[in-house]
Amino acid sequence: MIAKKCVHIVFTPLLFSIIFLIIRFYIISSIFFVLFLLFLFFFRDPYRETGEGIISPADGIVMESGRRIAIFMNLWNVHVNRAPLSGKIMEMKHTPGKHSPAFMEKGENEHLSIKMETEIGMVKVVQIAGIIARRIVPYVREGDVLKKGDRIGIVRFGSKVEVYLPENVKIVVREGDKIKAGQTIGVYE
């Protein structure tokens, strides 16, 4: 399945590939076709089983583990992000900013902060744009009630997602762990 709000990005190179194929510019057609295949891979949105407890909102590598779990998504990860718990979105705040490499980012990059009231208290998910990622596309709005694992949005082309959890949570992931969206990252006590 192709990620919501990304179909036009995926199929535009295919359209150009067909046009250049018709006018017999085979090399240019091939380049656009390869670009189509790359976009098809990048903007995928596969089905995911939802784990127990608090789940990861993103695929990637855990960069920090604690009350704040930072997950770096490289270009090969699925970039559709998910709700870590069921709850109601209380606040969404978009902050414009830089486009520094996400793995080195110090809070100055463009980001979207989503605060959710959940059964364990307030949980915050922050989607952060990186050097290549230039667009955060939310699928949700303030006031929406979500189930754990619901899609909340996509950060296009490499980025980072942070999850801020309350004190009554036992974290089960560690720095360096490779995780997938929907996989358990914490349990509430």
Question: Phi first, then psi: what are they for 81, rounded to 5°?
Answer: -100, 155
Q: 63 and 32 share a domain?
A: no
In-domain check, residue 177: yes
The answer to whether 50 and 147 are in contact (CB under 8 A) is no
Three-state DSSP class for 4? coil
Q: 137 and 177 share a domain?
A: yes
Q: 91 and 180 share a domain?
A: yes
Q: Which domain holds residue 13?
A: 7-42
User: What is the total count of domains within the chain?
Assistant: 2
State the CATH number of the domain containing residue 131: 2.70.70.10
Catalytic residue status for 100: no
The pLDDT score that the predictor gives to residue 105 is 64
Q: 59 and 126 share a domain?
A: yes
The pLDDT score that the predictor gives to residue 179 is 96
The pLDDT score that the predictor gives to residue 157 is 72
In-domain check, residue 137: yes
Q: 175 and 130 share a domain?
A: yes
Q: 38 and 100 share a domain?
A: no
Q: 165 and 78 share a domain?
A: yes
What is the enclosing helix (H) or strand (E) of 53? Answer: none
Q: 32 and 72 share a domain?
A: no
Q: 32 and 105 share a domain?
A: no
Q: Furthest-apart CA pair in the chain: how many Å?
A: 64
The pLDDT score that the predictor gives to residue 133 is 60
Choice among 17, 29, 65, 159 that is catalytic: 159
In-domain check, residue 1: no
Helices 7-22 and 26-42, packing angle to 10 deg: 160
Q: Give me the average pLDDT of each 10-residue run along the chain (189 residues).
A: 92 96 96 96 93 96 94 91 98 88 74 96 94 84 98 86 94 96 90
Give the count of beta carbons closer than 10 Å to the beta carbon of residue 134: 13
In-domain check, residue 146: yes
Q: 29 and 79 share a domain?
A: no
The pLDDT score that the predictor gives to residue 149 is 97
What is the CA 25 to chain-centroid distance, rounded? 36
In-domain check, residue 49: no
